[in-house]
Amino acid sequence: MGQAQGGADKEVTLQNIQELYRKFASECPSGNLHLHEFKKIFGINRPTTEEESAYMENVFRSFDTNKDGNIDFMEFVAAVHLVLRGKLEDKLKWSFKVYDRDGNGCLDRQEVRHIVRIINKIKRHNDPEVTENIDDICNRIFDLVDKNKDSQISLEEFIEGAERDPWVMDQLKLDIGPSDWFIEQQTKP
């Protein structure tokens, strides 16, 4: 879920924001960040499966708060702040929103299985040794997180389960890593 507290030791100054805007305007002269540019920022440069592509589109939509199909500078700054400096609880709420494909406020087994399968594929691209059984992972997540055993995970159960159990946190981690891109952008003239 990208829940590590990255960049917490650095303060964001007005100069940093002005520089970020200059680079945003340079990279996105239309004033909007499009999906293909978003994928590049988050390190998805290789061809993706249909599931991974749908997943990244869902992440993109989660940052597109005005639902216009683009990310403007204000949405971009909010996304950067959340991913790089956001509090764990805010990141967990965002992750839950990404996972909740039907928007009903609960995660069912199908949604959890879908996201675990995608995260597992992404992990396998990064480490071919990863060979975990998706159904076993999904069942264990529900055993550990679904407190009232209603076969749905509420936002509260999701947050409590991820904070309580490092294995659950690792299984639900959104491995989007824009940090390298932002550092690279800061060093460009």
Predicted pLDDT of residue 169: 85
Predicted pLDDT of residue 5: 41
Determine the Cα–Cα distance for residues 173 and 168; give it in Å rounded to an integer: 8
Predicted pLDDT of residue 1: 40
Query: For the structural domain made of 14-187, what CATH number should be given?
Result: 1.10.238.10
The whole-number mean pLDDT for each consecutive block of 10 residues of the chain, a chain of 189 residues, reads: 43 72 82 84 64 78 89 86 80 86 90 84 62 85 94 94 88 57 53
Specify the DSSP element, H or E, that contains 152: strand 152-154
The most distant pair of C-alpha atoms in the chain lies apart, rounded to whole Å, by 55
Contacts with 28 (C-beta within 8 Å, 6 or more apart), sequence order: 34, 37
Six-digit token string for 126: 């990064």
The amino acid at residue 76 is F
Predicted pLDDT of residue 79: 80
CA dist list (Å): 87 to 8, 94, 122, 159? 10, 11, 24, 12
Contacts with 185 (C-beta within 8 Å, 6 or more apart), sequence order: 20, 23
Predicted pLDDT of residue 189: 54
Sequence spans of domains, the chain: 14-187
Six-digit token string for 91: 């990141």
The amino acid at residue 131 is T
Closest CA to 126 of 58, 184, 45, 35: 45
